[in-house]
Amino acid sequence: LSQATTAPPKPKPAPVTSETVGIWGLRLWQVVGIFALFVLSIIITLCCIFKCRIPRTRKEIEARYAQRKAAKDYADKLDTVPPLGELTDIPGGNSRLSLGFGEHRVP
């Protein structure tokens, strides 16, 4: 059985409110505010670095798709174009394009 004591009861801890002192002597609402600003600044920075804007309309989505497709088609066609030296004959020189660097041979 438990014994009855004459010692005063243990005091209850103070309830946590927005005015409770947290870390570094700041109140709880200040700590939460600083943390929220930190998280918000990270989100804004990431959105500025990466294009993460969500298109609003179907028309805008279709325009983006057409733009990406056109860019891909253009890049694919560019890969099939031969180098300039193979397309044209350079007068007074060999088939390689001379930029004025290195040795020059005179025929």
pLDDT digits (tens, 9 = 90+) for 3-34: 777 888 788 877 777 677 777 778 888 888 99
Which residues make Cβ contacts (< 8 Å) with residue 85, sequence separation at least 6? 95, 96, 97
In a domain, 103, yes or no: no
The per-residue pLDDT for range 52-69, each reduced to its tens digit, is: 667 678 998 899 999 999
Instruction: Give the pLDDT of residue 23.
Output: 75
Give percent above pLDDT 90 in the chain: 24
Q: State the total domains in the chain.
A: 1
CA torsion angle 39 42 46 49 (round to 10): 160
Residue 51, both tokens? 């294009």
Print the domain residue range for 55: 28-74
Q: What is the DSSP letter of 24?
A: G
pTM for the structure as a whole: 0.38
Rg of the chain over all Cα atoms, to the nearest angstrom = 36
Tell me, yes or no, whether 47 lies in a domain.
yes
Does residue 90 form part of some domain? no
